Amino acid sequence: MKYFMQALTLGVWLMAGAAVSAADELNDYIAAIENRGKPPVDYIVDKLKHHDLVLFDDFNHQAKEPFDFYQQLVRSDSFVALKPVIFVELFSVNEQPHIDAFLASPEKDMALLYPVFRATYSPFAYPMQSYLDLMAMIYDVNRALPEEDRLHVVAASTPSLWPSIENAADYAAAQKSLAGRDHDMYLTILDELGGFSGNAKGVFLTNTRHAYTGVRKKDDSYFWNTGTFFRQWHPDKSFSVRLHGQQLFIESVKAEGDARDQEGLSRKKYYWGRMQKGLWDSAFAAKGNQPVGFDLTGTPFGEAAYAGNHMLDAAPGQTMLDAFDGLVFLKPIDRMTATAKSNAMYDEAFVQEVVRRLTVYRTPEELADMMEKSGVSTLADYVRKQTAPEAEKPLIDASSLGPIDGWAQD
């Protein structure tokens, strides 16, 4: 009995010690928010004053909240006063005349932008209403400004080559051209900003794969991407901000996958979860889930182990500070929204163009299977069904993220 009571007492002490340790860890994160945090718009404006380019990792192009935040920036007098060029990753450089025509039009005609959304690397148009809404907001803000002070939107991505793609071989060749996409985007942005030789400012609306600053491989070389080109070749000129959201975790590589998948996720076993098993989310919740932005340097957030699409091949000891400079929290990730989807760009001519693209992109067997599963008899009907408008909806099933207090249960 004596030894049982001693063991029980020891167990209680150990559990109490673990609870105190967990509470202390959470308090470190809370303290970082309290001591360093600023309202997100103020934070980004301050970063733009000290750096020529701010890159945003929206974590998921389908998420609505990053674009709501971009609209807040565009409506901010302090942001507009800096006249930053707004670079958009998804827009192809050969569609720039359509962007310029929209912004210069005496009437807000969204149809002028439809060619931009049709110029993709897959058969379908970009359907995200969030992008259309942002462009509409920029138009409205510009109407109230003198012409010399108006915001400019610049397409950053490599050209979409669909007009020259007639068969599978053409498509395969076009895909190879994307190998240098990150460097092409770097050159486009650098040129537009005058090589950082003047006072030009810019923001780059992109996602994780293009916003890293210095994640290293196991051989100590870099995973080069647009953000890394800027950081390594132009130190202090850029600042990369992660917009907090669902986190990609890679578990393993599959033996097979779809070679047409640009992100490469079809070839990996992965899941979406919470950073540090909910520790970050717990810290934000403890502060009332108020939107906030802060630098990662000198914080436990920055010291957290790197997680993302390179995590299987990254050098040991990489942290989130190796990937990003700052963090902006907008909203709890289990309350985030997937943007509505528009089909406004699908007139009958473009429906037929997508049919043409699909015959290049897929084999006859794949097309037959797609139509059968969709319950339609023609590719045109398949396109119409697949591109029907969709309302906003939850971005992710909250239960799939894991508990917010998973960090405290270890």
Q: Is the predicted pLDDT of residue 2 greater than 90, yes or no?
A: no
Q: How confident is the model at residue 380 (pLDDT cuts 50, 70, 90)?
A: very high
Please report the pLDDT score of residue 13 as a whole number. 39
Q: Is the predicted pLDDT of residue 325 greater than 60, yes or no?
A: yes
Nearest alpha-carbon partner for 83 in 145, 29, 159: 145
Please report the pLDDT score of residue 255 as a whole number. 66
Mean pLDDT, residues 73-88 taken together: 98
Please report the pLDDT score of residue 23 as a whole number. 82
- Vertex 121, ends 117 and 122: CA angle to 5°? 90
Hey, what amino acid is at 313?
Answer: D
Structural domain boundaries in the chain: 36-346+387-408
Q: Is the predicted pLDDT of residue 81 greater than 80, yes or no?
A: yes
Cα–Cα separations (whole angstroms), residue 137 to 84, 153, 389: 15, 12, 21
The whole-angstrom separation of Cα 219 and Cα 65 is: 37
Q: Is the predicted pLDDT of residue 256 greater than 70, yes or no?
A: no
If you search the block for the tokens 């870099």, which residue do you land on?
Answer: 222
Segment 198-233, tens digit of pLDDT = 999 999 999 999 999 999 999 999 999 999 999 999
Contact 144, 74 (CB under 8 A): no
Q: Is the predicted pLDDT of residue 144 greater than 80, yes or no?
A: yes
The pLDDT > 70 percentage for the chain reads: 92
Hey, what amino acid is at 393?
Answer: K
DSSP code at position 124: S
Please report the pLDDT score of residue 21 as a whole number. 77
136: exposed, middle or buried (Cβ count in 10 Å: 0-12, 13-18, 19+)? middle
Q: How confident is the model at residue 254 (pLDDT cuts 50, 70, 90)?
A: confident
Segment 367-379, tens digit of pLDDT = 999 999 999 999 9
Segment 286-323, tens digit of pLDDT = 999 999 999 999 999 999 999 999 999 999 999 999 99
- Give the distance from CA 112 to its chain's centroid: 25
Nearest alpha-carbon partner for 205 in 273, 149, 141, 134: 134
The whole-angstrom separation of Cα 387 and Cα 360 is: 19
Cα–Cα separations (whole angstroms), residue 53 to 47, 113, 114: 9, 25, 28
- Is 0.85 topped by the overall pTM? yes
- Give the distance from CA 209 to its chain's centroid: 8
Q: How confident is the model at residue 22 (pLDDT cuts 50, 70, 90)?
A: confident
Mean pLDDT, residues 264-276 taken together: 86
Q: How confident is the model at residue 128 (pLDDT cuts 50, 70, 90)?
A: very high
Q: How confident is the model at residue 268 (pLDDT cuts 50, 70, 90)?
A: confident
Structure tokens that stand for 137 in this block: 């907001």
Contact 156, 95 (CB under 8 A): no
Sign for the CA dihedral angle at 83, 84, 90, 93 comes to: positive
DSSP code at position 222: B
Element at 101 (helix H, strand E): helix 96-104
Q: Is the predicted pLDDT of residue 4 greater than 50, yes or no?
A: no
- What is the rounded average pLDDT for all residues in the chain? 93
Structure tokens that stand for 49 in this block: 């004053």
Q: Is the predicted pLDDT of residue 6 greater than 50, yes or no?
A: no
Cα–Cα separations (whole angstroms), residue 321 to 58, 75, 97: 17, 30, 38
Please report the pLDDT score of residue 9 as a whole number. 44
Structure tokens that stand for 13 in this block: 């002490």
* Residues pairing with 270 in the sheet: 250
Mean pLDDT, residues 116-121 taken together: 97
Please report the pLDDT score of residue 41 as a whole number. 98
